[in-house]
Amino acid sequence: MPAGEGRLFENYPVSEEFYDEVFNRKGGVRKHYQKVVNYFSKLSPEEFNELNQHARISFVNQGVTFAVYSDSSEGIERVFPFDLFPRILTAREWEKIEKGVKQRVVALNEFLWDIYHDKKILKDRIIPYELVLNSKFYNKEMIGLEPAGRVYIHISGTDIIRHKDGNFYVLEDNARSPSGVSYVLSNRTTMKRTLPDIFFHYNISPVEDYPQNLLSMMESLAPEGVAQPNCVVLTPGIYNSAYYEHAFLAHNMGIELVEGRDLFVDRNFVYMKTIYGPKKVDVIYRRIDDDFLDPLVFNPESVLGVPGIMGAYRAGNVTLINAPGTGVADDKAVYAYVPDIIRYYLGEEPILNNVETYICERKEDRKYVLENIDKLVVKPVDESGGYGLLIGPKATKKEIEEYRKKIQRNPRKYIAQPVMSLSVHPTYIEEEKRFEPRHIDLRTFFLMGKGFSYILKGGLTRVALKKGSLVVNSSQGGGSKDTWIMEG
């Protein structure tokens, strides 16, 4: 065990293979973690278990849940797993992350405007035409359309890891409707209720201002001439895995949570049904995918969306957040070109690293992937939540052969990357009654409106609770930690 630490850290293995966020390779505690480690070291397993139960009760009382879907079930509602040992980033580390995230989102926003208007980046052959225009998320309805403030990505979630070299890498961009921010706020509430004393030892950036900033961003994008916009959150309904978040955000912003059946369009204006009669809606934070947004334009069988809403959007009478068609920016094949996108539009070098990526649509990349699939992570370009992944070193021969056939049948759908060594963080394992290293990542949340930008100082640290697992998604058995940004 690391020298001088208590029973909860007994036999804690200091990693040579991965970057440990808390302990250096000699077993010493990193300076910014010293007070937290000292605090937990004084607790017995019994005392810590009692605190764990308090945290779990706090989550139950807050109603913090998520749904897991499988072939055998429509959705199992579960309390979100939470680990009491916080993840801490220094002010210097956070400064780089913040600048890098903002640079990335600003460049991707410029990219989206370009591909739906002048297509200069395609004409200059920085990115292949077919890669963009054949993307599942390229929305032809957006061609030539000017969104409010020329902003497409109003809410983005950038997933960041720390590799064994100690440097930060962007694992993927989430530009459609990134989820998880409600867990950031709930984690902080739970930490303050369970371990109030520990907050006196650190100067930590607050996260509680996110809902108000989200509302301010929405209001900044009101249609022309609307001084006091009526904003709503549009949810697919209670069976959606992120429904808790939809309800949480609407409640904390003080605005209505609506389903498609609560809205209607008349003469290119959107209205909400109320007991007092129709009420005009100006800004919609929609948590419904493009395909289901308007049955008159997209999927005619959709009962989740609002017939005619795209007509109101084209007319400039309602703002949709995020804009339709933003999915091209988080297509995992486009991800490989983000460093070039940053250089092209901003004339800057990327602040945050990309992970080396092989695009299976390219003949030479595909050949390499098929020959080395057992050493790579292969991902569908259009999936999220950790679904559809193949982690080569941990896959069976049968799984590898099946995946080879999938790639050969539809190469555009897949990319591959080397296995990245996600950093590890002490995480309490109840069965063992002690802390063990588990892999983590960080999802940051950035808001962009008309003359408005804001980054949540903390983000969601996700932790792979299964020993050795590199998949941190809650849908795949992951949990989360409170993320502390040290000020000054």
CATH at 395: 3.30.1490.270
Residue 414: pLDDT over 60: yes
Is residue 367 assigned to a domain? Answer: yes
Q: How confident is the model at residue 73 (pLDDT cuts 50, 70, 90)?
A: very low
In this prediction, residues 232-255 reach a mean pLDDT of 94
Average pLDDT over residues 64-79: 55
CA distances, 487 to each of 245, 265, 430, 443, 457 (Å): 28, 47, 32, 19, 10
In a domain? residue 24:
no
Distances in whole angstroms, Cα of residue 417 to Cα of each of 265, 358, 376: 45, 6, 6
Closest CA to 413 of 77, 136, 29, 18: 136
The confidence score (pLDDT) of residue 2 equals 58
Residue ranges of E strands in 91-242: 155-162, 168-174, 231-234
The DSSP element (H or E) to which 266 belongs, if any, is strand 263-266
Last-in-domain residue among 286, 317, 348: 317
DSSP secondary structure letter of residue 20: B
d(Cα 188, Cα 82) in Å, to the nearest integer? 11
The pLDDT assigned to 295 comes to: 97
Asked if residue 19 is part of any domain, the answer here is no
Among 388, 418, 448, the domain-final residue is 418
Range in 19-23, 203-207, 243-247, 463-467 the model is least confident about: 463-467
The alpha helices in 391-457, defined as continuous H runs, are 397-409
Average the pLDDT over each of 14-18, 325-329, 413-417, 448-452 and give the range with the smallest value.
14-18
* pLDDT of 475: 63
Q: What whole-number distance in Å separates Cα of residue 11 and Cα of residue 149?
A: 55
Q: What is the pLDDT of residue 16?
A: 83
Most confident of 77-81, 193-197, 301-305: 301-305
C-alpha span between 160 and 153 (Å, rounded):
18
Res. 128 pLDDT band, cuts 50 70 90: very high
Is residue 99's pLDDT more than 80? Answer: yes
Task: Write down the pTM of the prediction.
Answer: 0.93
Look at the alpha carbons of 338, 141, 147, 235 in this order and tell me if their dihedral is positive or negative: negative
Tell whether 295 and 231 lie within a shared domain: yes
In a domain, 311, yes or no: yes
Torsions phi, psi of 452, nearest 5?
A: -140, 135
Which tokens hold the place of 446? Answer: 């950035």
CB 258 within 8 A of CB 250: no
Give 279's pLDDT tier (boundaries 50, 70, 90).
very high
Do residues 458 and 452 touch, judged by C-beta distance below 8 A? no
Per-residue pLDDT at 366: 95
Name the band, by pLDDT with cuts 50, 70 and 90, for residue 311.
very high
Assigned domain for 302 exists: yes
Pick the more confident residue, 80 or 395.
395
Instruction: Identify the bridge partners of residue 280 per DSSP, sorted by sequence position.
Output: 271
485 phi/psi in degrees, rounded to 5: -105, 120
Average pLDDT over every residue of 182-201: 90
Coil, strand or helix: which one is 244?
helix
In angstroms, the CA 98 to CA 246 distance is: 25
Q: What is the mean pLDDT of the chain?
A: 91
Last residue of one domain, picked from the residues 400, 418, 436:
418
Residues 235, 306 within the same domain: yes
Mean pLDDT of 85-110: 97
CA distance 45 to 257: 42
How many C-beta atoms lie closer than 10 Å to residue 269's C-beta? 18
- 362 and 312 in a single domain? The answer is no
Residue 72 has pLDDT above 50, yes or no: no
d(CA 256, CA 237): 13
Rounded to an integer, the average pLDDT of 305-326 is: 97
Averaged pLDDT, 241-248: 91
306 with 232, same domain: the answer is: yes
313 and 247 part of one domain: yes
Q: What is the pLDDT of residue 4?
A: 46
DSSP 81-116: PEEEEEEEE-HHHHHHHHHHHHHHHHHHHHHHHHHT
Q: Which residues pair with 480 in a beta bridge?
A: 82, 462
For residues 17-34, average pLDDT? 94
**What is the distance between the alpha carbons of residues 377 and 110, in angstroms, rounded to a whole number?**
29
Lowest mean pLDDT among 12-26, 105-119, 213-227, 334-348: 12-26
Helix (H, G, I), strand (E, B) or coil at 62: helix
| Euclidean distance between CA atoms 461 and 83, whole angstroms | 10
Cis, peptide link before residue 187, omega less than 30° from 0: no
Asked whether residue 371 is assigned to any structural domain, the reply reads yes
Q: In this structure, what CATH number is given to the domain that contains residue 233?
A: 3.40.50.11290
Q: Is the pLDDT of residue 96 over 50?
A: yes
pLDDT at residue 219 tops 50: yes
Question: Is residue 454 a contact partner of residue 159, using CB atoms and an 8 Å limit?
Answer: no
Q: Domain range holding 414? A: 357-418
Choice between 195 and 1, residue whose per-residue pLDDT is larger: 195
Q: Chain-centre distance of CA 136, in angstroms?
A: 20
What proportion of the chain, given as a percentage, has pLDDT over 90? Answer: 77
CB atoms within 10 A of CB 151: 23
For the chain, the domain total comes to 2
Q: Is residue 310 domain-shared with residue 364, that is, in the same domain?
A: no
- What is the rounded distance in angstroms from the CA atom of residue 197 to the CA atom of residue 315? 54
Lowest mean pLDDT among 1-15, 22-36, 327-341, 365-379: 1-15
Query: CA dist 192 to 65, 211, 320, 416, 429, Å?
Result: 19, 19, 35, 41, 21
Beta bridge partners of residue 204, listed in sequence order? 486
- Contact of 217 with 448, CB cutoff 8 Å: yes
| pLDDT, tens digit (0-9, with 9 covering 90-100), for 139-166 | 999 999 999 999 999 999 999 999 999 9
SS3 label, residue 121 = helix
Mean pLDDT of 171-200: 91
E strand spans, 336-433: 353-354, 358-359, 376-380, 390-391, 414-418, 424-429
Q: What is the pLDDT of residue 329?
A: 96
In a domain, 50, yes or no: no
Q: Of 227, 222, 237, 238, which is closest to residue 270 (Cα–Cα)?
A: 222
Q: If pLDDT is split at 50, 70 and 90, which confidence band does 299 have?
A: very high
- Arithmetic mean of pLDDT, 279-294: 97
Closest CA to 334 of 131, 111, 46: 131
CA nearest neighbour of 157 among 366, 415, 395, 448: 448
Higher pLDDT, 323 or 431: 323
Mean pLDDT, range 420-440, rounded to an integer? 91
- Average the pLDDT over 255-273 and give the result: 98
H/E segment holding residue 40? helix 34-41
What integer is the mean pLDDT of 298-304? 95
State residue 189's pLDDT score.
92
In a domain, 135, yes or no: no
Residues 230 and 298 in one domain: yes
